[in-house]
Chains A and B, each alone.
Chain A
């Protein structure tokens, strides 16, 4: 029976080698476009440097685009009319000079009520419009009043604007400034008449305004500083982030994209400085020449005289980063930030497809390793990100990053460099 089987096997081997099959269907022209796309997209060691150059260019372009889009403004100063003596309204030959400064009001001690009758009527909620009425040219008087302007925004921040109004007005005109009232701190109507030259009296229904001017200013100062402290206060936040990543060993070229997904926890020390940590689950794919795979730590089940020619591998890793985040450009709608830190790994699974040489024969071997292994301070991470502030507590961030290996990981102790993109959302835990 064995002889018959052997004969049969030999017969089939001869048949396989010599059977008459037509092979005229070959068409190189059909293959060329597919080949160009495939090999054009494929990665060879020579294109590794090109890929990194492209990534660097991408980082640069992204930074430039963001800087061009975000209006960089670090001051809260509002200049309605920065040029002195420039008239806003010119009614009846009256000129009004207005300079506003949010913070100036708190320090302003120059609330001088007109000694002459200059009348300034203000109507409506629009503080920018000041109408002059019945004003003559002959008299100059400076009126400094505290006006409250209500900012209509989601954060409900109240800011005080001091308005120094220089009104060349005739003596016999009244000055009336109508102010908008707020429930919390009312600024009363201020009426100044001709007969009230020393009219520093303020008629008001609010007891707060019966206080002398300095006390009012200081009280407002305290409220404002408390509010500032509240806004700048330490706060914790959490978030989620994820995105694709690409890995390579020793600049040998990128393999297919992996993925990284995880949770962020952060603590904001100052307005611009935070510290973040978190846990990410990432799947890394990489390729390497065998010379970067160190056989000493390899599986003992592999043949001793086996030489790894190259390998394709993947790893499942839990990453624990600790990093500092610095917002170097801040805006009410968006921030630009950088981060820098260190990441530790816990590798839960590694699987490698080896192309090896053993006893003069090339062979493919696959192996998977399930021992959980920790790598403390495995890489240094850097990122540059853009954060959209979508609400009082929430923001969305886009963050390209780079991880530079500090030590080898995996069964072959290979140094895997990672670059990727995180898109995430964070939410503040503060009240």
Chain B
């Protein structure tokens, strides 16, 4: 089965009745009907877009098995929402919200480390899409086409750019994951690469990194200890970013030379990744890899419902 989410995923949406949730939950709702309920402590709203609203996760998990939750809750209340999902052992927690205070993220990370049922994707992510099966997030659906290439990225808009580039070159995608653009996020590259490694539907992986933090270095040490059979093409954004300046979202700051794009490319190259400096070289690299593979499907037909 596909990584993290698929056509059988049963999801809820926290913050569905709020300003962000009201507008942006529509994309995920309409994609493949994976969301069966919303969560909102507001007692007045009982149903929105034909979806029932429960006041707490406990109330719905009593009668339904829930695999995932999509969170649109605003920053001031996000910690409470994520901790509630962890307490209720929801396996996949996807938090779209940008701007959660750092102190709250420290508490959330502390709670995540004490258990092994839930993983957090985000915050500050456009979510996850398994093409033609499940969308939990805000990615525009029509740029994706089904295939064998997995994408994992810190930047949201670069997922769109790479996916569109691949689709135009008649190369389809399996699952695309935004791990988030904040300085402290729930899941690093390592775990996602492990998932892709076990996923029969993914044959090539594209990794989009950027300046700041040490997630790329963490992946490099992981790859040196664990053999990954699938080729990883890595692109690191921010080669020309000045030091110590925040280039957009909060995670994109290179505080010293260790956190620059050049350094990350070096570490990933040493660990066996194929490095591209220009994002438009990605389809060419993939063509080179495909020539060596005998059973690679460029695009796949949508699965039968």
A and B are partners in one complex rather than unrelated chains: no
Name A's B-contacting residues (CB within 8 A): none
